[in-house]
A and B are shown apart, each in its own frame.
Chain A
Amino acid sequence: MSQKRIKVLIAKLGLDGHDRGAKVVARALKDAGMEVVYTGLRQTPEQIVKAAIQEDVDVIGISILSGAHLELIPLLIKEMREKGLNDVVLVVGGVIPPQDIPKLKEMGVDEVFLPGSSLKEISEKIIRAVESKRGIKVAT
């Protein structure tokens, strides 16, 4: 009856109290036609994966500004794999030193967005990642 819309979970991982960027991105994805579930600040990997499962999202979007990405992202990916979320796209945005990008991608992060990324670029890359990883043609 209706075409699948991309469903995205946007959350802040770890001890990091700044969520303006996460909200701006969540809103941009809404404007790009996606259905965005926003769960806010100071989430544990366990909480994020639980919400991602119950909501059956196509994408988990993590905002992280604390500098702890190399410690926390592996914990999140471990939890995702243990719970069977192997086909869910994982994107990370925030203050990430460029030299850490290859490391994150090697861990299993699909896209990394740095400050200055355009909102158009973010939504286009997410659509492409969903189409290739989830194997679905999406409505936007």
Chain B
Amino acid sequence: MLLEKALAGDELAIARLLTKIEYFTPEGLENLQELMKRSGNAHVIGITGLPGGGKSTLISGLISEYVNRGHKVGVILVDPSSPFSMGSFMGNRVRMVGKDLQKNVFIRSIASRGNLGGISAEALMLIEALDGLGFDKIIIETVGAGQTDTDVVNAVHTVGVVSVPGTGDEIQALKAGIMEIGDVYIINKADNPEAEMLYEAIKFALDTAEINFRDGWTPKIVKTIAIKNIGIKELVDVFEEHLNYIKSRGLFEKRVRDRRVKMLELLLRKKIEDIISRVIKENLNYISKEINEKHNLLGLVNEMYNNVKSYL
């Protein structure tokens, strides 16, 4: 019932369906399974980078550009959950006010809920759902990412890494992790005088890379000033070029499969992590006592590992 309405484009039905999915309700999971029979067609784009780099503002521009080009755009915005209260303050949508009033735009915020790595199992489930509902461009904004938040690379077709001038020199551009995963490196706030230095640093890192880039695609660098909508059209052109590249090499379906493997992995991790948390909680007094008495920590790990196994 809800699914039929959602497939017919009823936004409230879509929204309520997504809630049922993100909370793993039986109805939600059944409908997700149904939607995954139809999903696998959307071009999924991940936008990642440090907090405050302008990811949300950039996505706001991307939404309009894609809508102008005739696409149906779904957007998933991930913001962190508090490790203390489990609550979340999600402020990405503030940069996109009014964009959702255009036809064919659906924007959804989701808290990270304890998932690390920049994306979450729930977010990937929402991608599958929007894909199955007929959105053909899906943009996912990761949480403001740190150097090792690289999970997004296995979850999307095209990765855009946003950097801004003034956040580091060549050394940062040469580091492993997030500066290796981009299909497109976006230098936002490019009207800053240091933008040229950042460009040179990233270019140097790319030019001297000995690793084979993912699937042989040489990453591109694009300069944008998102707040003034400058460079957005060019960025979409580059995203399209990348899409055509992976399609021409039969990699589009492979990336969909990779995304589903990642989803499976994250869901599996979630189950195991729940058990680990439970074991630690149940044995906390004992663990604390052992640590106070400086008993063998590795022995303790093995002991708890056996407890974890007993729950499997």
Contact = CB atoms under 8 A, between A and B. Distances in A.
A59 to B, nearest CB: 13
Contacts of A40: 91, 94, 97
B85 A31 contact: yes
Interface residues of A, number: 31
A37 interface: yes
B101 interface: yes
Interface string A22-58: 0000110111111111111001001100110111100
Contacts of A35: 81, 87-88, 90, 111
B114 to A, nearest CB: 9
A39 B86 contact: no
Nearest to B87: A30
Given A27-B89, A35-B90, A51-B100, A56 B19 contact: yes
The DSSP consensus for interface residues of chain B is mixed
Given A1-B23, A32-B87, A37 B12 contact: no
Interface string B23-39: 11000000000000000
Interface stretch (B102-110, B184-192, B295-303): B102-110
Contacts of B70: none
A30 B82 contact: yes
Nearest to B101: A50
Kindly name the residue among A2, A32, A85 whose own CB sees the greatest number of chain B CB atoms within 10 A: A2
Given A30-B82, A50-B101, A2 B113 contact: yes
A84 interface: yes
Interface in B197-231: none
B260 interface: no
Interface string B18-58: 11000110000000000000000000000000000000000
Contacts, number: 87
Interface in B73-126: 81-82, 84-91, 93-94, 97-98, 100-101, 106-109, 111, 113
B86 A5 contact: yes
B190 to A, nearest CB: 25
A83 interface: yes
Interface residues of B, number: 32
B125 to A, nearest CB: 11
A119 B78 CA distance: 26
Interface string A68-108: 00000000000000011100000000000000000000000
A47 B89 CA distance: 19
A4 interface: yes
A31 B87 CA distance: 6
B16 interface: yes
B236 interface: no
B87 A38 contact: no
Given A56-B15, A83-B12, A37 B82 contact: no
A29 B85 CA distance: 10
Contacts of B109: 37, 55
A83 B111 CA distance: 25
B88 A54 contact: no
Given A53-B15, A56-B18, A30 B85 contact: yes
B24 A1 contact: yes
Interface of A: 1-2, 4-5, 26-27, 29-40, 43, 46-47, 50-51, 53-56, 83-85, 139
9 contacts: A31-B87, A35-B88, A36-B87, A39-B93, A43-B97, A46-B101, A47-B97, A47-B100, A56-B18
